[in-house]
Structure 1
Amino acid sequence: MTQQCEACGGVLLDMSDYRQWRQQAAPSAESGAEDHEVSDSPSARGCPSCTRLMQRYRVGLTPDFRVDHCPACQLVWLDKGEWQTLAQAGLTASLGEIVSTAWQRRIQSDELRALRETALRSKHGDACIDEIKRMREWLNTQPQHEELIALLRADW
């Protein structure tokens, strides 16, 4: 069951239909350069089926909007432009994961990491943080990276 609201352009999607579509759909390159205007609702909406408040799930840091999901009825509400933005970001096959606790925790962790990096850049400067990131990436490719880190700390 998929229903589109003519007034606002939003779409109500049954997750069982979505899962069936996902099993039948061939993987494709979804990303594109075209930006879509997203009309993200500022507050939770009532489920059209059971009238309970739908839970709002953040899609990501980029794109930053929320989809509404009723866990009881397994319905998802997508505001105008949200499906197109998911497609542009290559996330249409991830809708089931987006409405999971694990996905939401990862977004929170990513957001905290980004805030921490911003604070560190403010304190130490972009050049310093960029160099540390470069060194970290290099160290992570080394088989004995722990030993190399210990060497950096040691007074050798």
Structure 2
Amino acid sequence: MKRCPLCSTELNRTLLEANLPAFSCPGCHGLWVSSNEYLSWLSPDFSYPISELDIAREFDTPYPVADNNQAIFCPDCGRFLRRFQIWPNHKFHLDRCGSCNGIWFDRNEWQTLQAQNLHKQINIFFTEAWQEKLRSKEMKQRFENMYLELFGFEDYEKIKSIRHWLTEHPNGNRLIAYLTDRDPYKG
């Protein structure tokens, strides 16, 4: 008998998609999907490289995502579930067991991934390459916000244009040296 990692209610067997069995919680409406069942559901020749998943595209969350903030345990093996962020700048995480690789979906998370057509790429989100992409994207956004605050919109747009021109120019390094020299005419 499997119990919900959030509310300890007994989980019921259900089908998420044709041939994709799962366990659902009648209390909190979360879902538990075994790694083996998920991988069996994906076609054997199915492969979706990380490079094909566009991290820059908009991610609209059509359903309220009930992301939990508590430590939870695997319904299969009892180990801690590790939280993985799914998309940059969204409070949307999935919990995955590091031992048996089962996945816990809080209420509406599966439906949200389905609506985004990401429900067949879930394992990508648990890779170090994807998590690094997320960190990089979020860091870039933090710097963007900082520069916007420091320079203001108009000056920031202007300096980005100049920066782009300098990096593309064949004498870009010399132009930068000229600009940064306090007195470029002094010998």
Q: TM-score when scaled to structure 1?
A: 0.77
**What are the ranges of 5 or more consecutive residues in structure 1 without an aligned counterpart?**
none
Which of 166, 169, 173 does residue 150 from structure 1 map onto?
Answer: 173
Tell me the distance in 2 between the aligned counterparts of 1:136 and 1:99: 35
Q: Is 1:86 equivalent to 2:109 in the alignment?
A: no
Give the whole-Å Cα distance in 2 for the aligned partners of 1:148 and 1:23.
Answer: 52
| Aligned twin of 1:107 | 134
How many matched pairs? 148
Contact 1:44/1:53 (<8 A) preserved = yes
The counterpart of 1:49, out of the listed 76, 81, 89, is: 76
Identify the match of residue 77 of structure 1 among 89, 92, 104: 104
Change in 2 beyond 3 A, CA 1:53/1:32? closer
Deviation at 1:63?
3.7
Other-structure match for 2:28? 8
CA distance in 1, matches of 2:125, 2:166: 32
Tell me by how many angstroms 1:18 deviates: 1.9
* Kept after mapping to 2: 8 A contact 1:38/1:81: yes
Amino acid in structure 2 at the alignment position of 1:147: P
In structure 2, relative to structure 1, the CA distance for the partners of 1:34 and 1:97 (3 Å cut) is closer
Check 1:153–1:43 CA distance in 2 against 1; reply closer, same or farther (3 A cut): same
Choose from 107, 113, 125 the match for 1:98.
125
- 1:118 Cα deviation from its structure 2 partner: 0.7
Distance across 2 between alignment mates of 1:80 and 1:155: 58
Amino acid at match of 1:73: C
Partners of 2:114 and 2:86 in 1: CA distance = 12
Larger relative contact order (C-alpha < 8 A, sep ≥ 6)?
1
Is contact 1:2–1:12 with CA below 8 Å preserved after alignment?
A: yes
Q: Are the equivalent residues in 1 in contact too, given 2:71–2:81 (CA < 8 A)?
A: yes
1:32·1:88 contact (CA, 8 Å) conserved in 2?
no
Distance 1:39 1:114 in 2: 24
CA change 1:48–1:125 in 2 (3 A) is same
Q: Which has the larger radius of gyration?
A: 2
Quick check: which one's helix share is greater?
Answer: 1
CA distance in 2, matches of 1:64, 1:146: 40
Secondary structure (helix, strand or coil) at the match of 1:83 reads helix
For the aligned residue pairs, the C-alpha RMSD in angstroms reads: 3.0
